[in-house]
Structure 1
C-alpha cells in the first residue's frame, strides 16, 4: 500500500517541460542575468529589500528623484543572498528660496512622478488602536523575546495576506527589526498618541514591574507593532506597485504652521517606508523641527535654504507661469550667447 502511495505522489509531481518553456528559460539566463541591468518584470519580487539611502546635494534631489532605481548610484543585486539594494532618498529641506516660484516648481516636478503620495497635515494617518495589542505582541515572541516571523504572518491580526508573498516577507522582516528598537531612534522612549487598553497597561506593568526604563521600551515596541500592523492602504499600494529596478515610489511631506504636530507614529511610518526603499522628502519652509526630534542625525540629509517662512503655503505652479518663466530663461540664454 505504501508503495502505491509513493507511486501516486511521484505521478502527481511530474510535469513535462515544453520546448518553448525550455527555450524561454535559456533566454532568461542569457539576457536577464542579475548583473545584466536588463530585467524582466518583477524579477526580484521575492528578494529581500535593503535600502541604500543616498547622500546627495539639494540640486540632486530633482535629478536622482526622477531616475529609476537601476540608474541610481548604489543599485546592486546579490544573487547569493537574494537581496536587492535600492538607492533611495531621505531628505529634509529646511527653508525656502528667495525665488518662491522656483521652490514650488521643485516640489511640483517631483509630484508629477508616478506612485507618489503628498501630505500637508499630521498625523499622516490616523492609526487605529488594536485592542489588547500588548497581549498580541507577547503572543508573537519566541523564547529569546523576539517576534517570530511565522507567528506574525499567520496570526489573525495579519492584514497583508492579499499582498505578494515576497512583499509580505519583507514587511514581516522589517516589523521584527523595528520592534527591536533600532539605533536610529534618538531616545528609547517617546510619548505616543496611541492609548493602550486597561488590560495592556496592567500586563505591561506586571511584565516590567522592577524597571521603568524596561517598561517604557516595551510600550515603544508595542506602539511600533500597532503602527506597522495597521499600515494605510495607500502605503500598501505604493509597495505593491513597486517593481524594484524601476521608478522609486515617493512620500512627499510639506510641513508649515498649519500642518499640526509631527508624532512618533509619523516617524515610525516614514522610517519604515524608507527601509522599504521608498523616497522620503520633507519640505519645511519654516525650518522647524519634525523628523529630527525622533531620528538621529546622519540617517537623512538636511538641506538648508536661504530664507525661512513658516506661513508659506504650497500651491502648484500653473501652466501660464511656467511658460513665461521658460520663455524668459530662453531669452536670457540667447542674450548671453550673443
Structure 2
C-alpha cells in the first residue's frame, strides 16, 4: 500500500482497512482469506485517531475471536515447558534448522498437534517452515544459542496462543498488536498470519522493525500516517479488562484468560504423549492383525508415533460365491481372533448411558460450580483426577491429552454450544472412559506383567451409532487404538457426517452391496466356495460371452429385458427372415441390459393366384420351430368374472401401473413356478403395454384392469412360447388364420400387442381381406402385404396334406447367394 501524507486520503484508507478486517469469511474471495496490515504514525488529529482505534477494538471484542497484545507478547512462565522445549532443541544442529529436520522433530513431539485435523496440522508445519527459513535468511545466527532462544520463544508463544488462533466460525481470529513489535514478535505475528489470522499492528511511531524482517512487504502491508506519536499504553486498557458476559465467551487474552490457558497448557504438555497418525488401508480386516511395530510410519521411543486405523466399513463386499454368508463369517472369525489376542473391545448394541451409580461417582463440585469457558471445565476435570491412571507415564499422559483433544473436537463441531451441555458431555465421556478403558487395557495373558509399547489395542463398533458414541471411539483412536466401525448398510454412517464431513479424521470404505442390519454373528454360516477351475471358467466366460463380442451362451440374457425393433419388409424378405434366429437378423444388438429383438409383425391379405403356392407359404411359416398356429378368431376366452375384474383394482399403484409385489402375492397370480427373472420380465412387459399407446381405444381404469387380467389368465400354451424364448436364438411365433367375417376381440388385440412388445413374430392371414386387427391396433405397428385374389370361407384343412416344397431348410445367406 502506498505511503500517502494527505490526511483525508489516510482516513479513507484507514476506514477501508477496518472494514476489511471486520468482514466475515464468506464475503471474502480466495485471494483475500486473511489480512495483515500495519499502521505507522497517526492522524494530525490524534484524538480522532485514538477514538477510531478504540471503537475498532470494541468491535473486535464483540466478535469473540480476538487476541490483544499491548506493547509486547507475554512469554509463558512455565519452567517445565521451557525445559522440555530446550531439551528437544539442544539435540538439533544449527544446519538442520531450515532443511526440514527440525520441523520433523517438532512434528514427532506433537508440537503441531493442537487439533486432530491432519490438514490443519500440515498447515501449522508449513507455516513454521516458512518462518524458520525467513529467520535464517534475514539474520543467519552466529551460534546455536541464538537460534535455540528464537525457536524456544516462538514455541512458547504458540503453546499459549496457537490453539486460540485455530478457532473458526463466521469470522477468522483477529490479532491486534498495539505498539512497535520486537523482531522475534514480528516473526510470531507472521506465523499467526500464515495460519489465516487477521493481524493489525498499530505503531504510532515510525520506528518499524518490519523493514528488517519483511523487507519487501510480502507478508504485511504498511500504511504510513501524517504524524508520529510517542508510544504509550493502549488508551482503552481499563475497558479491555472489564468482565465479559458468561454467555459470550471471548478469546481475548487479558491476564486472567492467559493464566487459565497456561494452567491447561501445563497439564497437557508436562509429560510426553503418543502421537497418532491415521493409517490408510484398503484391507482393514487384514491390516488390523498386523503388529503395530511392523506398520509403515511406526516410530518407537520416548515420543512414539502410532499409525492407527479409524475406518468406517460400510456395505457388504461381493464375491462370486455366497457373499452374504461370507461377509458374516468374516466378521465372526475376526471377532474370535481379536478376542484371543486381547486388548479388545466390541460394541454391538450401542453404548449404555451412565448409570446412577456411575453418575454418583462424579464429585458434587461439578453440579454446584458455574463454569465460564471450556478451558476451565477441562482444568477442573484434570485436577480432580477423574480419568483412570495406569503405571505407564506415557500412556497416562496420552489418556489425558486424548481426553482434552476429544472434548475440544466436540466443542468445535457443535453450534450454539452452552457450557452446561459441554460439561455434561465431558463428564459422560469420563464415565465411559472409566468403564471401558480398564477392559481394553486388561492383560488376559498371565505372562504379560505390564503394558508396554508392543501392546496393541483394537475397538470394533458394529451397527447403528449415536453422535456421542463417535467421540468415545475418537478417544480410543487418539490413545493409539485401531478403531473399526462396521455397518452392513451403505448409509449406516450418517451420524459420522457432522463429525467428519470431509473424511479427514476417518477413512471411509464403501462396498458394492447394502444389506439390512442384522445382529452380530454368533456362529459361522454354511457356505459354498468356488474351485479354482470354476472361477477360471467364469472369468473366461465373462471375456468370451460379453455383450459386444457376439458369442452367446444359452440363456445368457434371461435376466435382461427386450426392446422390439419391428422390421418393415417386403413379402419375400418376410419369408426369408421368418426362419432366421434373432441374432442373425438386421438391427439385433445387446446393450445396457437390454436385448434389441428385430421381430416381424405382418398381415397378409388375400391369396395367390396359385392357391397351392399360398398353402405352401402358410405351411412353411407354420412349421417353423416354436410356432403356435391359431385357426379361428376370436381366439381368447375370458376366464374371470366381472366381479374379479373390479376386485383386482388394488393391484394398481397410485400412478395406474401394476404393483409387482402385490400381483405376485395375489390369488390371480399363476406364474410362480416360472424362473424368477422371467416372472419379473412378464410383469415389466405388462406395465410397458399399459403405457405403450398401441391401441385405438382409450386406456381407462377398467381397460387397465382388463389388460392385467388378460395377461394373468392367458392360456398355458401361450406362456410356453415366451418361456422358451432365448432372446438371441429362435424367435417364438404366432400365426392367426382368419377366414370369416368374425374378427378379433379386444382381448385378442391385447394379447397380440403384448407378444409384439415381448419380441415375438406375428403373422395374420386374412384371405377375405377384411379389416380385422386394424379395428384395435394402430396400423403403423404392422406391415400389410396384399396378394392378388380374395377368397371367402377358405378352409384350412388342405394345409396338413401338403408336402413341403423343400425338404431341407436353407439359411438366409444361402438364399441370398443362390442357394435356393
TM-score (norm 1): 0.80
Match of 1:111 in 2: 622
Residue 794 (structure 2) pairs with residue 312 (structure 1): yes
Match of 1:140 in 2: 651
Per-residue CA deviations over 1:190-218 (Å, capped at 9, x if unaligned) read: xxxxxxxxxxxxxxxxxxxxxxxxxxx22
Per-residue CA deviations over 1:26-82 (Å, capped at 9, x if unaligned) read: 22022111122211110001111211111111111111110000001111111x3x1
CA contact (8 A) 1:96 1:309 kept: yes
Match of 2:724 in 1: 241
SS at match of 1:265: helix
Per-residue CA deviations over 1:9-29 (Å, capped at 9, x if unaligned) read: 7x4275432111111112202
> How far apart in 1 are the matches of 2:701 and 2:526?
48
Residues 320, 273 of structure 1: alpha-carbon distance in 2 compared, 3 angstrom cutoff: closer
SS at match of 1:298: helix
Residue 567 (structure 2) pairs with residue 54 (structure 1): yes
Q: Which has the higher contact order (CA 8 A, sep 6+)?
A: 1
Match of 1:291 in 2: 773
Match of 2:715 in 1: 232
Residues 129, 152 of structure 1: alpha-carbon distance in 2 compared, 3 angstrom cutoff: same
Aligned pairs for 1:186-205 (under 5 A) are: 186-188=696-698
> How far apart in 2 are the matches of 1:223 and 1:65?
31
SS at match of 2:573: helix
Aligned residues: 291
CA contact (8 A) 1:94 1:284 kept: yes
1:93: how far off?
0.4
> How far apart in 1 are the matches of 2:645 and 2:737?
33
SS at match of 2:520: helix
Residue 520 (structure 2) pairs with residue 6 (structure 1): yes
> How far apart in 2 are the matches of 1:58 and 1:73?
16
Match of 1:302 in 2: 784
| Aligned counterpart for 2:678 among listed residues 145, 164, 167 | 167
> How far apart in 1 are the matches of 2:767 and 2:642?
38
SS at match of 1:12: coil
> How far apart in 2 are the matches of 1:145 and 1:268?
17
SS at match of 2:596: strand
> How far apart in 1 are the matches of 2:522 and 2:585?
51
| Aligned counterpart for 2:748 among listed residues 262, 266, 269 | 266
CA contact (8 A) 1:119 1:253 kept: yes
Per-residue CA deviations over 1:139-168 (Å, capped at 9, x if unaligned) read: 112233332222222222111111121211
Match of 2:666 in 1: 155
1:169: how far off?
0.9
Match of 2:581 in 1: 68
Per-residue CA deviations over 1:99-144 (Å, capped at 9, x if unaligned) read: 1111111111121111110011122132202463344332112233
1:178: how far off?
2.7
Match of 1:179 in 2: 690
SS at match of 2:683: helix
Residues 306, 142 of structure 1: alpha-carbon distance in 2 compared, 3 angstrom cutoff: same
Which structure has the bigger radius of gyration? 2
Residues 7, 123 of structure 1: alpha-carbon distance in 2 compared, 3 angstrom cutoff: same
Instruction: In structure 1, list runs of 5 or more residues that go unmatched.
Output: 190-216, 324-338
> How far apart in 2 are the matches of 1:271 and 1:321?
31
Match of 1:213 in 2: none
CA contact (8 A) 2:739 2:767 kept: yes
> How far apart in 2 are the matches of 1:92 and 1:248?
18
> How far apart in 1 are the matches of 2:595 and 2:569?
21
Aligned-pair Cα RMSD in Å: 2.3
> How far apart in 2 are the matches of 1:29 and 1:122?
47
SS at match of 2:525: helix
